[in-house]
Amino acid sequence: MTFLQMLILAIVQGITEFLPISSSGHLILVPVFLDFPDQGPMLDIAVHIGSLLAIIVYFFKDAWGLARGGFATVGIGNAPKEKRLFWWIVLGTIPAVIAGLAIKTGALNGVAVALFGLKIEDGDLLASLRFTDLIAFNLIFYGILLGLADYFGREDRSYEDMTWRDGLLVGLAQALALIPGTSRSGVTMTAARVLGFGRVEAARFSFLLSIPAVAGAGVLIVPDLMEAGSEMVIEALITGALTFVAAFATMAFLMNFLKKASMLVFVIYRIAMGVLLLWMF
């Protein structure tokens, strides 16, 4: 890829990862609109790693608390509150891990063909989901759900109030984000708002829940990157570093924005983008 393509991908990822408008969907649309070659799922995950580092830096206190909870789980230190939250985050990660492994191993290929008549290219279900009609539908459908959850949802719970049930339900929602156009942050914030978390707390919950899921996805692509050769590794590192900068700035903006505004602007954008894609393609 050229540096321009890497820069554009990084900016798009950095902005859309934390806004509830689907980063994976927008990454797929970049080559469609700009006539770039499709960067493929491997680089998509690489830029998500840049976003992951931004989350850890921005929410360092919370991330360190989760780390302390993990250490306490194996007998290192004493942090009962952090230990409990650590396990709820782990529980919320399990659905996405199972779904991700099922897709990567091809276990869901037969289901996708039988239920949706999807044509699986080279046995790669994830790559076969990268088409505009699906992105458009998901942008509109999950955008409407986000709007309803944000309008009717209560705002009487905080991240510290999370229970195992919350972790599991938001984790199940997170697994849906493997389908392009859904938006990991959008669908998890939707679930959190339904469960009574305020906007800022829903975003905080969503971002912290992404840490193990994105880290796990990054680990899964390491063998593929090694096989792809040094050029792909260098491209992934450069794009990931650029994404970190864009993601950190976007996250700071969003957390301040949600203190005084609703999700309506994102709902309108999602629906408008979905309608535009259906009209154009």
Query: How far apart (Å, rounded) are the C-alpha atoms in residues 215 and 218?
Result: 5
Of residues 122 and 86, more confidently modeled: 86
| Residue 267's pLDDT band (cuts 50, 70, 90) | very high
Query: How far apart (Å, rounded) are the C-alpha atoms in residues 265 and 280?
Result: 22
Q: Model confidence over 107-154: pLDDT tens digits? A: 777 766 665 666 776 667 776 777 888 899 999 999 999 999 999 998
* pLDDT given at position 174: 92
Helix axes 60-73, 80-104, angle to 10 degrees: 90
Contact (Cβ atoms closer than 8 angstroms) between residue 30 and residue 263: no
Integer angstrom CA distances of residue 34 from 27, 134, 249, 276, 278: 11, 19, 24, 16, 18
100-114, 160-174, 258-272: least confidently modelled range: 100-114
Q: Model confidence over 190-244: pLDDT tens digits? A: 999 999 999 999 999 998 888 887 777 666 666 666 666 667 778 878 888 898 9
Q: How does the average pLDDT of the chain come out, rounded?
A: 85
* pLDDT given at position 221: 65
Taking the CA atoms of 114, 118, 120 and 126 in sequence, report the sign of the dihedral they define. negative
Q: What is the DSSP letter of 120?
A: P
- 19-40: buried (b, 16+ CB within 10 Å) or exposed (e) per residue? bbbbbbbbbbbbbbeeeeeebb
* pLDDT given at position 116: 61
Q: Model confidence over 24-68: pLDDT tens digits? A: 788 788 888 888 777 666 676 777 788 888 989 999 999 999 899
